[in-house]
Amino acid sequence: MAAIRFWHSVRFKLLLVSLTLLGIPLAGYRFIEETEQFLRDAQDQALQTTAASVANLMHAYDDAFTGVAKPGSILTFRNLYAHALSEPPQIDGYRDEWLHYDDNFAVLRSVDESLVARVFVGVHDRYLYLLIGVRDASVDYGENGDAVDIALATADGELQRFRVQPQAPGWVSARPLRSADFAEETIPVDSPIRGEWQGANDGYTLELRLPRSMLGDRLSLRFYDSSSRQLLASGHMYPVDALGRIVQRSAQLSDVLTDVTPPATRVWVTDHQGLVLASAGRLDANAPLSADQARMPWFIQELILAVLPHDAEAEIDLPADRTQLFVRPVSDALSGRPNSLRRRPPHGNAVVVSAAVPIRSSDGVKGAVLVEQTTNAILSIQNLALQRLFGVTLLFFAVTSLGLLAFASLLASRITRLRDQVERAVSHDGRIIGRMQGMHGRDEIGDLGRSFASVLDRLHEYNHYLEAMASRLAHELRTPLAVVRSSLDNADLAADSERHTYLERARDGAARLERILQRLREASGLEQALHQAELETFDLAALLRHQVDSLRMALPTCTLRLDSGDEPILMHGVPDLVSQALDKLVANAVDFHKPGSVITVHCSADSLAVRIGVANSGPPLPNDIDIFQSMTSLRHGQHDEPHLGLGLYLVRLIVEFHGGSVIARNTDDGVELAMTLPRTP
């Protein structure tokens, strides 16, 4: 049959129709992509301009900045950030009241990180509070034990140094130092700096309170580990100008930022170490919905959010109370390079765009300005465009769907006509009673109709042959049988010397013809017998024992062995048919077994099925022949009995009637034929 050209096939026609749908997502995606790119570039440029303007404004407030940035300075903690506390903490040496400030601790580490200090500075009313957590494998007390040194500048610019070196955990008071040298002894006079020292699982915790009246704006801390003789400091302990600063948010800078910050924008100003000096404005991480979009179903809103591009480079949270900024734009700006970043907050569906520029002085970079803004404006524009695009898409899909529906209806009607022709050509009992009309279509359906017509024609011819074969074969066999019998009758009148031989040959031929006819009738009548059979529950083990005993008597020259056990095997089926199938299997084994060898009948069962196998020693089965097909025989004239290849075919019919399966396989020394029958078909 000629191959169908691709441009005539149904696939090609459906492909042509479906290609129209590609224009919708491609056009929408291209529109969104170009719009988003244009608006993003414009927003980045606007934020850079705003940040540069704020940086220029900060030149008038040099006093608020603590110095200039040096290589790696953002990674040190010479300056300590003082947080405004809502209420005074209880001085008890425990961190319970400070847990919500955990992200704002300054961390100092030794080179090998065997000594780590976490410092938090808080301010409330007339006092400055220090919470110090030190990780130290071994904490020693006494005059030569671990210690914490404090260096501060008074309001008059005088340098004062103190040491906390307790004899044991508990209430402590800092004592003045004679000099900045650690080996110098303390002056045995208590100071107003007091607190609580408590041991911890991994070191110790020190909580101190300092009167603000004795403090200027400089403070440095130094930690001494007596066991390793290591020193860890937040900054220099002398001279007074080298001490670290106490950094606080500047109310003056915050007021200035509030006046210049655009709506829906947040502005940060940091010193040269990234410590926040001021901030203003707020961000809304959730994109607002337009009135039209708010009325749209929720699944359409989710679809729009899924389609919109959110190309954030990182997921970073910058809460409003953040005291130090480590994000990439700020670190780049403190190095003198303006930069921007697109980040996604942990909560919200908008991307935050951040732009940072350096604040320069004559000595270098003294700070940075970070301006943040969400992409909510871009999202609103994209949402509006998507709403309009959604309406066009619905119209496009409606028109296209109607076209596809009409085309599918045409295909369905052709397939229905093909089905009706096939049903009219075949009767309920499977006989071919008519012929199909050829279909002229050049696609797959037309080719399928022509194939059906060709197949039905061949089946009609084959069924006609099968229907005529039985009567024709009976006629052909009955005629020679009558001739043989009449010859036998006439042989009685022949001479005595020829009569015996003549009679024996005639009787053998007649018997052979009768057996052929009987086996043909058996095969043709088995299907009808299967339809009329009645199922019953019986003991298969008892049936096998009885059957094998009968076969032993009928086949005295063969040795049969039964391997089934003594336990009863109950199954639901037709015992006569199972017995007939076993006879056929044993007869096949007898025909092919080696003389003197044993034919084994074995039976095994589980809760679901029963397996009956007959094994014999003999020639193996060829791999390319299905011996359970009708008219299949491997005997090549070496037997006197007629064999039409129907025995194992009948076994297959019986097994399939019971809902089982039959298999033939070669063993090490012969062949095994086995049938598996379900215990409850």
Q: Is residue 661 part of a domain?
A: yes
Higher pLDDT, 303 or 649: 649
Q: Has residue 289 been placed in a domain?
A: no
- For residues 547 and 666, membership in a common domain is answered with yes
The string of DSSP letters for 337-400 reads --EEEEE--SSSSSPEEEEEEEEEETTEEEEEEEEEEESHHHHHHHHHHHHHHHHHHHHHHHHH
Which residues make Cβ contacts (< 8 Å) with residue 184, sequence separation at least 6? 177, 178
pLDDT for 73 = 45
Residue 16 in domain: no
Confirm if 145 and 226 have CB atoms less than 8 A apart: yes
Query: Which residue type, as a one-letter code, is found at position 594?
Result: K
Q: Are residues 488 and 556 in the same domain?
A: no
| Residues 555 and 588 placed together within one structural domain of the fold | yes
Q: Are 580 and 555 in contact (CB under 8 A)?
A: no
How many residues appear in the chain?
681
Residue 314: the pLDDT is 47
Q: Which amino acid is at 619?
A: P
Distance between CA 19 and CA 8 in Å, rounded? 17
Are 490 and 586 contained in the same domain?
A: no
So what's the pLDDT on residue 312? 46
Question: Is there a domain that residue 358 lies in?
Answer: no
Q: Are residues 93 and 237 in the same domain?
A: yes
Q: What are phi and psi of 33, to 5 degrees?
A: -65, -45
Cβ-contact 51, 355 below 8 angstroms: yes
> Tell me, what's the pLDDT at 26?
74
Report the pLDDT value the prediction gives residue 184, as an integer from 0 to 100. 64
Domain shared by 594 and 663, yes or no: yes
Same domain, 502 and 625: no
In a domain, residue 273? The reply is: no
Per-residue confidence (pLDDT) for residue 302, from 0 to 100: 62
Give the per-residue pLDDT at 454. 81
Q: Could you tell me the pLDDT band of residue 72, with boundaries at 50, 70 and 90?
A: very low
Instruction: Say which CATH number the domain at 623 has.
Output: 3.30.565.10
**Around Cβ 548, how many Cβ atoms within 10 Å?**
17
Which domain covers residue 190, as residue numbers? 80-244
Split at pLDDT 50, 70, 90, the class of 1 is very low
Predicted confidence at residue 315, as pLDDT, reads 47
Asked whether residue 36 is assigned to any structural domain, the reply reads no
- Residue where a domain terminates, one of 488, 510, 526: 526
Q: Give all strands (DSSP E) within 535-608, no chain letters.
A: 536-539, 559-563, 570-573, 598-605
Spatial distance between the Cα atoms of 671 and 127, rounded to a whole number of angstroms: 101
* 678 bridge partner residues: 609
- Asked whether the predicted pLDDT for residue 104 surpasses 50, the reply is yes
pLDDT at residue 421, rounded to an integer: 84
**Which residue type, as a one-letter code, is found at position 73?**
S
Q: Which residues lie closer than 8 Å to 348 by C-beta, 6 or more apart?
A: 284, 285, 286, 287, 374
- Which of the listed residues 492, 526, 560 is the one where a domain comes to its end? 526
Higher-pLDDT residue of 555 and 382 is 555
Given a cut of 70, whether residue 176 has pLDDT beyond it is yes
Cis omega before residue 89 (within 30°)? no
Poorest-pLDDT segment among 26-35, 347-356, 371-380, 657-666: 26-35
d(CA 430, CA 427): 5
Is 495 found in the same domain as 548? no
Q: Does residue 177 share a domain with residue 112?
A: yes
Q: What number is the average pLDDT over the span 501-521? A: 67
- 338 pLDDT higher than 90: yes
Do 209 and 121 sit in the same domain of this protein?
Answer: yes
* Dihedral angle computed from the Cα positions of residues 632, 634, 640 and 644, in that order, rounded to the nearest 10 degrees: 0
Identity of the residue numbered 232: L
CB 651 within 8 A of CB 585: yes
Q: Within a domain: residue 372?
A: no
Question: What is the identity of the amino acid at 343?
Answer: R
Residue 211: DSSP 8-state:
E
Closest Cα partner for 226 from 162, 111, 148?
Answer: 148
**Separation CA 548–CA 241 (nearest Å):** 115
Lookup: tokens for 263: 């709506």
Which CATH number is 211's domain given? 2.60.40.1190
Among 295-299, 362-366, 540-544, 644-648, top mean pLDDT goes to 540-544
Q: What is the pLDDT of residues 621-632, one digit of tens each?
A: 887 777 776 555
Structure tokens at 400: 């296209």
Interhelix angle 298-307/376-425, rounded to 10 degrees, is: 110
Residue-level pLDDT at 304 = 59
**607, 479: one domain:** no
Q: Based on the domain organization, do 513 and 541 belong to the same domain? A: no
Whether the full predicted model's pTM is greater than 0.75, yes or no, is no
If one counts the domains in the chain, the total is: 3
423 domain-assigned: no
Side-chain-side CA neighbours of residue 574 (13 Å): 17
- Check residue 145 and give its pLDDT: 92
The DSSP secondary-structure symbol of 492 reads T
Domain end, chosen from 526, 551, 576, is at 526
Question: What is the pLDDT at residue 9?
Answer: 64
